[in-house]
């Protein structure tokens, strides 16, 4: 099936346990990628120490924060609409303060204060530790801005307060920023240069999650395979590290091994993998540990060599297909998903056919698919004309989505009659009598609840499927409990 960004969680307000010491109310909502949702937990943790409890009721908030996304123009337009709503509330509640966080804050900086008159505070993704000072500034009636990008900040020393929606799955950030400079992408400008977080603090955070009853973590970064810890500092400065630092450096496969061995029953996922940085060492490590899930999110963006080059994706179509072949040889049941952009500048029908034929070759389990959206400041915006008409972009996207749906069904049908281990995450959205969970390969499974509870690892026999979901019956707890 196609998996667009999960609209149901976009803008979700974060509600955490209350501390009785705290008297002020923070309403924080998040847009965009998983990293933003994870960052909001860091922000809530920092502000909890400043006297704020979270609320999901906008009307009772003293401070409203919106953690924003700039990846496509539509994401920014959604936030502008939300700011209009906050404006209406502020008219009846003049003491209410409004802050914009995240990528849009970084991209537009103080311009946001001028354009959106109701915004009191603008904070970029590397400046959240400055929030206590910035809040004091706005309390004193002044506007506050901090959009400095950092060479070191990883928030490794902040214990995020977790969203208590299921208590089973959590995100753990391992890198920040991105050095890839894909020509379409605004991330290097909004999140800065790439840096990795101390592995010990990552293992510690995963251990604490396990102790609280969590059963699955997703290690997060714009490009996790590029993870490299050599004592701190930017990835690009690794060349200047001492011989000792180089000899003791921890790469992504080392990190996976450390986490997998420290918590042998915790399920481990990771996202996102960039094909040019994914090594076979990582794939072998995945195969070696039962608790590392068999799923790789491997964005390809296009199947055309010419377009891949124009996007500055540093691999060819054949190199990508070879990587897929190697993954399938090492982990035969590995789930593989994609991101694809339709209608990048200069994309011809032939390039588009190359994307469809690459999809046919891989037959992805699912994907996130988008039309190209020109982002100011990116290399593509500076050097290329956004020349594919909107109607053509849309039609190509529809063809990509339709093909993905067929491939997803092809993949889900392969599960029929098999028994899969599923971690129960929640009640099914469609029926309260059914549980929803995922296989190791990240395919959603729905089955009758019987006596099982959230957080159980259950073996489920798959009886039926749609392109998006497997339907089955539990046959017992798995040995992982």
72 binds ligand SAM (CB under 6 A): yes
Q: Minimum CB separation from ligand SAM for residue 74, in Å?
A: 9
Name the segment binding ligand SAM (CB under 6 A); options: 104-112, 318-326, 369-377, 422-430: 369-377
Closest to ligand SAM by CB, 73 or 261 = 73
214 binds ligand SAM (CB under 6 A): no
Name the DSSP class of 429. Answer: S
38 binds ligand SAM (CB under 6 A): no
319 binds ligand SAM (CB under 6 A): no
Q: Minimum CB separation from ligand SAM for residue 359, in Å?
A: 14
Cα distances (Å, whole numbers) of residue 352 to 184, 185, 348: 17, 20, 6
CA distance 42 to 101: 12
CA distance 369 to 210: 33
Closest to ligand SAM by CB, 26 or 182 = 182
CA distance 33 to 454: 25
Kindly state the tokens that stand for 229.
Answer: 């810890």
266 binds ligand SAM (CB under 6 A): no
Binding mask 245-264 for ligand SAM (x = CB under 6 A): --------------------
Q: Minimum CB separation from ligand SAM for residue 167, in Å?
A: 27
Beta-bridged to residue 423, according to DSSP, are: 438, 457
Strand-pair category, 216-220 with 195-196: unpaired
Euclidean distance between the first and the last CA atom of the chain, given in angstroms as a whole number: 30
Single residue of 68, 146, 166, 222 touching ligand SAM by CB under 6 A: 222
Q: What angle do CA 311, 295, 443 make, to 5 degrees?
A: 110
Name the segment binding ligand SAM (CB under 6 A); options: 15-23, 140-148, 239-247, 365-373: 365-373
Q: Minimum CB separation from ligand SAM for residue 375, in Å?
A: 5
Q: Minimum CB separation from ligand SAM for residue 234, in Å?
A: 17
Residues 73 and 378 sit within 8 Å (Cβ to Cβ) = no
Single residue of 305, 339, 386, 399 touching ligand SAM by CB under 6 A: 339
Phi, psi of 53 (to 5 degrees): -100, 150
Q: Identify the CA nearest to 341 among candidates 376, 304, 381.
A: 304
Element (DSSP H or E) covering residue 247: helix 243-247
Single residue of 124, 299, 437, 472 touching ligand SAM by CB under 6 A: 299
Judged by the rule CB under 6 A, the positions of this chain that interact with ligand SAM are 33, 71-72, 178, 180, 182, 184-185, 187, 222-223, 272, 274, 299, 301, 339, 341, 370, 372-373, 375
């Amino acid at each position: 099936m196609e998996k667009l960004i999960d609209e149901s969680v976009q803008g979700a307000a974060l509600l955490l346990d209350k501390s009785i010491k705290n008297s002020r109310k923070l309403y924080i909502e998040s847009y965009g990628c998983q990293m933003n949702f994870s960052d909001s937990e860091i922000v809530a943790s920092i502000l909890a120490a400043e006297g704020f409890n979270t609320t999901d009721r906008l009307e009772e908030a003293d401070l409203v924060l919106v953690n924003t996304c700039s990846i496509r123009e539509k994401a920014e337009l959604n936030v502008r609409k939300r700011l209009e709503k906050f404006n209406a509330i502020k008219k009846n509640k003049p003491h209410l303060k409004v802050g914009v966080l995240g990528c849009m804050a970084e991209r537009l900086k103080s311009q946001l204060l001028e354009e959106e008159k109701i915004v009191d505070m603008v904070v970029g993704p590397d400046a959240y530790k400055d929030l206590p000072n910035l809040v004091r500034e706005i309390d004193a009636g002044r506007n506050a801005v901090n959009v400095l990008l950092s060479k070191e900040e990883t928030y490794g020393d902040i214990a995020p307060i977790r969203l208590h929606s299921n208590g089973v799955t959590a995100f753990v950030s391992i890198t920040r920023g991105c050095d890839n400079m894909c020509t379409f992408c605004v991330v290097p400008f909004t999140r800065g240069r790439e840096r990795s977080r101390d592995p010990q603090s990552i293992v510690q955070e995963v251990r604490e999650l396990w102790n609280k009853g969590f059963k699955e973590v997703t290690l997060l970064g714009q490009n996790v395979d590029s993870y490299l810890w050599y004592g701190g500092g930017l990835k690009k400065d690794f060349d200047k590290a001492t011989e000792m630092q180089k000899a003791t450096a921890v790469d992504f496969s080392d990190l996976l091994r450390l986490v997998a061995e420290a918590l042998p029953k915790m399920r481990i996922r990771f996202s996102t993998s960039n094909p040019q940085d994914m090594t076979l060492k990582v794939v072998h490590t995945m195969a070696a540990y039962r608790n590392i899930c068999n799923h790789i999110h491997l964005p390809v963006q296009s199947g055309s060599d010419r377009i891949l080059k124009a996007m500055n994706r540093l691999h060819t179509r054949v190199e990508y297909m070879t990587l897929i072949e190697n993954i399938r040889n090492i982990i035969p049941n590995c789930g593989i998903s994609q991101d694809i952009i339709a209608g990048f500048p200069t994309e011809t029908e032939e390039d588009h056919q190359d994307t469809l034929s690459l999809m046919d070759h891989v037959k992805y389990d699912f994907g996130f698919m988008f039309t190209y959206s020109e982002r100011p400041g990116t290399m593509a915006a500076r050097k290329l004309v956004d020349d594919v008409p909107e109607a053509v972009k849309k039609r190509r996207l529809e063809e990509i989505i339709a093909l993905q749906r067929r491939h997803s069904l092809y993949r889900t049908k392969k599960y029929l009659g098999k028994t899969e281990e599923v971690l129960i995450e929640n009640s099914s959205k469609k029926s309260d009598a059914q549980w929803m969970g995922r296989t190791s390969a990240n395919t959603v499974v729905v089955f009758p609840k019987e006596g099982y509870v959230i957080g159980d690892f259950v073996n489920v026999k798959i009886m039926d499927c749609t392109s998006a979901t497997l339907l089955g019956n539990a046959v017992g707890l798995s040995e992982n409990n």
